[in-house]
Structures are given as structure tokens and as C-alpha cells.
Amino acid sequence: MIDRLLSLLSFSQGASYVEARYQSRIMTEINYINGDLDKIRIVEHAGCGIRTLVAGCWGFSSTSDMSTSALRSSLEQAILAARVIARSKKNKVKGLADSKMARGHFTLKANGKLSDVDIEQKIKVAREAEKIARKHSAVIKTASCTYREILDHKLIVNTDGAEVEIHDSKPEFSVVAVAKKSGESATAHEGIGITGGWNDLFRTKSTLDYGTLAAERAAKLVEAKHAKGERATVILDPGMVGLLSHEAIGHTVEADFVLSGSIAKDKIGTKVASDLVTLVDSGCSELADNAAGTIIVDDEGVMAGRTAIIEDGVLKSFLHNRESAMIFETSPTGNARAFQYDDDPLIRMRNTFIEPRSDKLDEMIKETRHGYLVKGARNGQADANGEFMFGAEEAYLVENGEIKALMRGASISGNAFEVLRSVDMVGNRFQYDIGTGYCGKYQPAKVDGGGPHIRCSAVVGGLQ
């Protein structure tokens, strides 16, 4: 197959750059709800995406037909697509920044090949975890469990010399429990999403642990009061730190966002956060294994290593593809990612996190007079002006150095950089914890994030 793609590149008349990406994806999804198998499906999605740069204009075309003639005609379409925007495009692409193009075969580490585990076993873990959550106690009214795996085989070639074959395996497992009591209801999630194999997925917790933890939490939350809205000291757990790093900072430093005027625009080299903050985005699984956003090589054939966005409080780098790196006269950072073959590569994050320091969680709590310990990252959003908002499943009130009542349904908001400037303690234990999530930006992307616990100041929202 790779030979067919390589020979296709020689037909790139008139194009200054051609890239062909074959991707065969097999996604399996199993979902149990309330004792019933709610959904089971396998979806195969395979084909080739071709991107061309013609006279400074991008064109893209895709086909699921991998015959030589279909590929040839798809390439022609991609060249034509680039030509149709030539008249209206004002700023032509000046070129693509040089980078050592990756070559070779990359298989992401997986202990226990997912394709060796039969479908019966995958159904069984989902059934059992859902059941243990549902049967946990009388207040648990509904429970569900989802097992999902994405197996990718990718080939990436381009006219600048990339020649890459990648095998990737990303499973995820999550349980949701809903508790109801005297007219109130509360939802709790417990899950994991990784790059790795079957044994990696269930290394730290068993299938049943996930069910039990979700149910226990939902049962506790249904008794909890809503947090009241106020600006307060907050201690964020690793998942929340991951979400803050991704949503509130990460998006503002994606070079395409920067070019359209994000708040980070003129801030390279300036102090944007507390000295304690070093914030990184990496295509490798730094500091801990199996991070879900691990890619090794990006979809433009660039090696996807560690990029320090903020180092000791100073903004150091944006996240680039080859086009934006050319504009900013820097090196690409390996952030060009496409979700499937028929998506074109965009600047996306990978594993985004704050590096650990020396503080212990106990001390952070002890040194907090009034605040919240916030756990359980839920979905979030951020604006180009740095304003962000995201949800937290649990918020524990901290009074005079001690954890008090559990509050629920809280949202955390603020201005990203203001919040990072307020960081005064950074924990010593690192963890990835948002691997079940997908980031949305025209197309989904599997990402991860994490960090140690950190202490900062933000607006905690709730009912008045």
C-alpha cells in the first residue's frame, strides 16, 4: 500500500506539496444501560486523504477507494480544490517550515492487544461494571457503562520525504451512575481512556472498581448541597488541572487561534503565570505511561515531542503545524492532527499538563482558610480572550485547613492567565486524568491532560 501512495506523489503536477494519508480505523463500542445492552457496534472507516498546496492555496480530497485510478482522480480533485480558491484567498501560504520528516514504522506500546480480546469479553466487562454500580445501593436509579476502542493503521507520505507507518490502539472504559433521593438527582462518572492495550486499561483499577467508585460518588453527591457562587481559593485535582491546561491555556496558544487574535498573541517571552507553572503539550506520554493523546508522529510527518508552552511562568511557545511555524519563523511542534482519513490536519493538542513541583496535597489543604477542593473534570469551554468555564463533579468546602462538606454541580470560571498567575502551590504527584474526553474543533481529537494538584483563585459558580 505504501508503494501505491509513494507512486501517487509523482503525479503532483503544479503542486508545491502533496501529502497522502491512508488510515484504516476500526472502532468498537459497547454500551450497557440499566442491565440492558443498549448499543453495540463495530465501525470500519478506511480510506485516503490527499492534501495539496498549489500556488499557495490548500486543496483537500478524500476517497475510500484505494485503487490506483481512484487515488489518481482524488489527487486531481485536491489540486482542483486548491485552484478554485486562488482568486479569493488573500494571503497565500508562503511555504511550510522545514522539519526532519519522520520515516519508519511506529507502534504505540500496548500490553494485551485489543484485537486478541474477543467481543464476548468486552461485552462482559461492560455488563458487570454497570451491574455493580446499579446494585450498589437503593439510591442508585440508573447506571451505564461504555467500552470503546479505536484501532488505527496509518500510512503517511508527503513530497517532503515523510514515509511513516503507525499502529495505534486507544481503548476507554467509563461508568456513569445516577442517584436519586427526595426529588434530587446527582450524576457521577468514573473512567479511563488511554493509549495502550487491554492490560494497560485495567492496570490500576479493575472493571468492578470503576462501577463501585461511580456509584459511591453519586450516592454521596445526591445528599450534597450546591456550592454558592463566589470567588475563592481552589485546589484543583489532576483532572481539573488537565482541563485548565487544555481548555483555558492550550486553545489560546494554538497558532491558528493566535493568528486570529487570541489573548496570547503578543505574549511570547513575557510572564503569564506564577513562577511555579511549567505547562507542556507533548505527543509522547511524558511523566506517566499510557496518556490518551499520544501520537509520536503527527499527520504532517513531524515528530511530536515535548513542547513547553509556559516554563517557570514565562510563555515560551505556541503550538504549530508546518504552515504556522513558517509564519512565526520557528520549528513545527508536531501538533498537526486529523481525526480520520477524510479530515484534514489541524493544529490540535495532544497531552497537555502542568509539571509537578514539591507541595503535598495535605499541606495545600492545611494552608487553606476558606476555599474548595475541586475534583472530577467535566466538559469545559474557553474563549480566545482567555475566559473559560468548566464543570466539576465534586467541590469540597475547605475551612480552616480541613475538608468539610461536599458540594456539587459547581462550575469553575475565570480568566485563564489570571488564574495561572494566582497559582501559589503545585503538588508533587502527577497523573493524567482526562483521557476519556475528546476535544472538538471542527473534528474530534483524542487528547489527554493532567498534572499534580494545584492551588489557585477562581470563581466557583453555583445556585445563589
Partner 1 sequence: MQDLVAYAIKEAEAQGADEAEAYGASTAESEVFVENNDIKQAKTQQLASMGIRVILNGSLGFYSMNRLTKDSIKNAVSMAIKIARASPKDRYNSLPGSSKKVPTLRGVYDKAAESFGASDAAVIAAEMLESAKSYDSRVSVDGANFSAARGTHILANSRGTKLAEKLSTFSWTIMGMAIENGDVSSFDFQSGVSHSVKGIDVRETAREFAETVIGSLGPRKIESFRGEMLLTPSAANELVQEVISHSINSDAVQKKSSHFAQKLGKKVSTELLTIEDDGTNIEGLAASSFDREGVAHRRNIVIEKGVLKRFLYNTYTARKAGVRTTGNAGGSTGSPPSVSTSNFIVKEGKSNLHTLVSEMKKGILVSRFSGNVNPINGDFSGVVKGGKLVEGGTIRSAVKEVMVAGNVFEALKNLSGISKERKVIFDSILPYMRFDNISFTGG
Is the Cβ of residue 49 or residue 238 nearer to partner 1 in the bound state? 49
Considering the complex, state which of residue 59 and residue 451 has its C-beta at the smaller distance from partner 1.
59
- Find, among 124, 174, 175, the residue nearest to 149 by Cα: 174
Query: Residue 39 or 103: which CB sits closer to partner 1?
Result: 39
What's the closest the beta carbon of residue 224 comes to partner 1, in angstroms?
13
Specify the residue, 288 or 459, whose C-beta has the smaller distance to partner 1: 459
Comparing CA positions, the residue from 15, 22, 163, 16 lying closest to residue 77 is 15
State in angstroms the smallest separation of the CB of 314 from partner 1: 20
Site string for partner 1, 318-357 (x = CB under 8 A): ------------------------x-x-------------
What angle, rounded to 10 degrees, do the helices at 68-84 and 2-9 form?
40
Q: In three state form, how does the secondary structure of 311-361 look? A: ECCEECCCECCHHHHHHCCCCCCCCEECCCCCCCCEECCCEEEECCCCECH
**Shorter beta-carbon distance to partner 1: residue 34 or 68:** 34
Alpha helices in 46-157 (DSSP H): 68-84, 119-134
Sign of CA dihedral 13, 14, 17, 22: negative
Number of residues that bind partner 1 (CB under 8 A): 77
**CA–CA gap between residue 427 and residue 357 (Å, rounded):** 6
Interaction between residue 300 and partner 1 (CB under 8 A): no
- From 153-161, 269-277, 353-361, 408-416, span contacting partner 1 (CB under 8 A): 408-416
- Burial code (b: 16+ CB inside 10 Å, e: under 16) for 144-153 equals bbbbbbbbbe
Q: How far is the CB of 121 from partner 1 (least distance, A)?
A: 9
Cα-Cα-Cα-Cα dihedral of 199, 203, 206, 210, to 10°? -110
Q: Which of 160, 289, 383, 424 binds partner 1 (CB under 8 A)?
A: 383
- Using CB under 8 A, pick the residue from 12, 23, 61, 431 that binds partner 1: 61
Could you say which of 109, 131, 141, 205 contacts partner 1 (CB under 8 A)?
141
Give whichever of 111 and 137 is closer to partner 1, judged by the CB atom. Answer: 137
Q: Is there binding between residue 106 and partner 1 (CB under 8 A)? A: no
CA 346 distance to own-chain centroid: 14
The interface with partner 1 within residues 164-193 (CB under 8 A) comprises: 178, 184-187
Q: How far apart are CA 190 and CA 290, in angstroms?
A: 17
Q: Residues near 346 by Cβ (< 8 Å), separated by ≥ 6?
A: 256, 321, 336, 337, 338, 441, 442, 443
Q: How far is the CB of 397 from partner 1 (least distance, A)?
A: 17
| 138 belongs to the binding site for partner 1 (CB under 8 A) | no
Q: Which of 1, 6, 55, 119 binds partner 1 (CB under 8 A)?
A: 119
CA distance 164 to 297: 8
Query: Which among 76-84, 212-220, 293-301, 431-439 is the span making contact with partner 1, rule CB under 8 A?
Result: 76-84
| Nearer Cβ to partner 1 (201/263) | 263
Residue 93 carries which side chain, given as an amino acid letter?
Answer: V
CB 121 within 8 A of CB 113: no
Residue 84 binds to partner 1 (criterion: CB under 8 A): yes
User: Within positions 239 to 268, which residues make up the interface with partner 1, using CB under 8 A?
Assistant: 256-257, 259-263
In whole angstroms, give the CA distance from residue 458 to residue 421: 11
Residue of 360, 336, 356 whose CA lies nearest to 346: 336
Query: What is the footprint of partner 1 within residues 210-229 (CB under 8 A)?
Result: 229
Q: Is 96 helix (H, G, I), strand (E, B) or coil?
A: coil
Tell me which residues in 428-447 interact with partner 1 (CB under 8 A). Answer: 442
At 456, give phi and psi (nearest 5°): -155, -170
- Sole binder of partner 1 in the list 44, 98, 275, 402 (CB under 8 A): 44
**Which of 96-104, 291-299, 369-377, 409-417 is the region at the interface with partner 1 (rule: CB under 8 A)?**
409-417
Among 81, 132, 248, 302, binds partner 1 (CB under 8 A): 81
Residue from the set 99, 142, 245, 274 that interacts with partner 1 by CB under 8 A: 142
Q: Of residues 151, 240, 291, 410, which one binds partner 1 by CB under 8 A?
A: 410
Among 39, 181, 404, 429, binds partner 1 (CB under 8 A): 39
